[in-house]
């Protein structure tokens, strides 16, 4: 933990935080002094390991099993956090419906059903909707709060046309900007982080080396993102350093997308 922790006294919920990007975001908040709640769907062992890593740096942390696609479960989770700590400062919507990023085996448009789109929409926008709805009364009560939603750079540069996944994430950006517009007067900020391919994670593990190499060659910073590359921008958007930013999308892909 740093000498002057940036998030000391703050309570942060990270969804889908038992592995990959979410786990690194949780650990990064812990290193900056936050009380971190690690939400997970089913892998208790992995979630407990992230909790242990957060505790090891001197932060307070615990895991909560809840399906963010279920409104009642989300409401109980967030009400429980506020009952336990008296506050909620930051929500990071990182959980996603399972998706395998493998250009060789992606589903072509003419083989997709509308249900494929609906499933990804429920996983991206539906989950964020449930979490934001449950957190909003607590944010409004204190006239402050920060929401960071994880999108993808594919919404601007579909280097591989993952139709259903990317369409859902584009909708998440629109969802976030509408929330930012409405909630700004209440002191609540909403922003997005849009990574490129992050490797290695469970979702990207099957992406072949030749594709990764071609992506690296096209990326100005000449490498692929690691989970810790995503965590930094999330913490920035959750901090008072970005206190006058809302409705924004930060692309974290080594310069592949420039906006």
Indicate whether 95 pLDDT > 90. Answer: yes
162 included as an active-site residue? no
List Cβ<8 Å contacts ≥24 apart for 53-57. Answer: 53/23, 53/27, 54/26, 54/27, 54/30, 55/30, 57/1, 57/27, 57/30, 57/31
What is the average pLDDT across 86-115?
92
Closest C-alpha among 237, 241, 238, 240 to residue 250: 237
Note whether residue 6 is domain-resident. Answer: no
Residue 233 or 99, more confident: 233
**Would you place residue 101 in the very low, low, confident or very high pLDDT band (cuts 50, 70, 90)?**
confident
Indicate whether 204 pLDDT > 70. Answer: no
Note whether residue 225 is domain-resident. Answer: yes
pLDDT of 208:
78
Note whether residue 54 is domain-resident. Answer: yes
CATH at residue 240: 3.40.50.720
pLDDT of 75:
98
* Average pLDDT in the chain: 95
What is the average pLDDT across 2-17?
91
What is the average pLDDT across 66-83?
98
* Sequence-ordered list of residues with C-beta below 8 angstroms from that of 194, at least 6 positions apart, any chain: 150, 151, 152, 153, 155, 156, 169, 173, 249, 250, 251, 252, 253, 257
What is the average pLDDT across 30-36?
98
pLDDT of 146:
98
Indicate whether 207 pLDDT > 80. Answer: no
pTM: 0.95
CB neighbour class for 244 (10 Å; exposed up to 12, middle 13-18, buried from 19): exposed
CB 79 within 8 A of CB 130: no
**Would you place residue 209 in the very low, low, confident or very high pLDDT band (cuts 50, 70, 90)?**
confident
Closest C-alpha among 92, 31, 19, 22 to residue 60: 31
Note whether residue 36 is domain-resident. Answer: yes
The 10 Å Cβ neighbour count of residue 95 is 24
**Would you place residue 254 in the very low, low, confident or very high pLDDT band (cuts 50, 70, 90)?**
very high
Domain count along the chain: 1
**Would you place residue 36 in the very low, low, confident or very high pLDDT band (cuts 50, 70, 90)?**
very high
**Would you place residue 214 in the very low, low, confident or very high pLDDT band (cuts 50, 70, 90)?**
very high
Indicate whether 3 pLDDT > 70. Answer: no
Helix axes 163-183, 114-121, angle to 10 degrees: 40
Note whether residue 39 is domain-resident. Answer: yes
- The strand ranges marked E within 41-124 are 61-65, 90-93
* Sequence-ordered list of residues with C-beta below 8 angstroms from that of 154, at least 6 positions apart, any chain: 160, 162, 165, 166, 169
Note whether residue 247 is domain-resident. Answer: yes
Residue linked to tokens 């982080």: 193
Note whether residue 220 is domain-resident. Answer: yes
**Would you place residue 168 in the very low, low, confident or very high pLDDT band (cuts 50, 70, 90)?**
very high
Note whether residue 97 is domain-resident. Answer: yes
Closest C-alpha among 147, 46, 47, 138 to residue 94: 147
What is the average pLDDT across 79-106?
93
* Sequence-ordered list of residues with C-beta below 8 angstroms from that of 4, at least 6 positions apart, any chain: none
Its domain, for residue 110, covers: 11-252
Which entry of 40, 99, 162, 165 is annotated as an active-site residue?
165
């Amino acid at each position: 933990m740093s000498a002057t922790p940036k998030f000391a006294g703050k309570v942060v919920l990270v969804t889908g935080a038992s592995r990959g990007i979410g786990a690194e975001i949780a650990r990064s908040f812990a290193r900056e002094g936050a009380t971190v709640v690690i939400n997970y769907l089913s892998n208790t062992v992995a979630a407990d390991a992230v909790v242990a890593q957060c505790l090891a740096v001197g932060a307070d942390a615990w895991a909560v099993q809840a399906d963010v696609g279920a409104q009642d479960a989300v409401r109980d989770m967030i009400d429980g956090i506020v009952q336990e700590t008296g506050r909620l400062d930051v929500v990071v919507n990182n959980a996603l419906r399972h998706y395998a990023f493998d250009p060789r085996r992606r589903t072509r448009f003419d083989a997709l059903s509308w249900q494929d789109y609906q499933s990804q929409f429920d996983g991206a926008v539906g989950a964020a909707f449930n979490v934001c709805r449950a957190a909003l009364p607590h944010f409004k009560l204190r006239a402050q709060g920060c929401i960071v939603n994880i999108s993808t750079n594919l919404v601007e540069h579909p280097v591989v046309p993952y139709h259903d996944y990317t369409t859902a994430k584009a909708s998440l950006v629109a969802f976030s900007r509408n929330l930012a517009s409405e909630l700004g007067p209440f002191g609540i900020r909403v922003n997005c982080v849009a990574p490129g391919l992050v490797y290695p994670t469970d979702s990207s593990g099957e992406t072949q080396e030749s594709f990764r190499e071609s992506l690296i060659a096209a990326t100005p910073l000449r490498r692929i993102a690691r989970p810790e590359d995503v965590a930094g921008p999330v913490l920035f958007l959750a901090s008072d350093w970005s206190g006058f930013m809302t409705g924004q999308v930060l692309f974290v892909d080594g310069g592949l997308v420039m906006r």
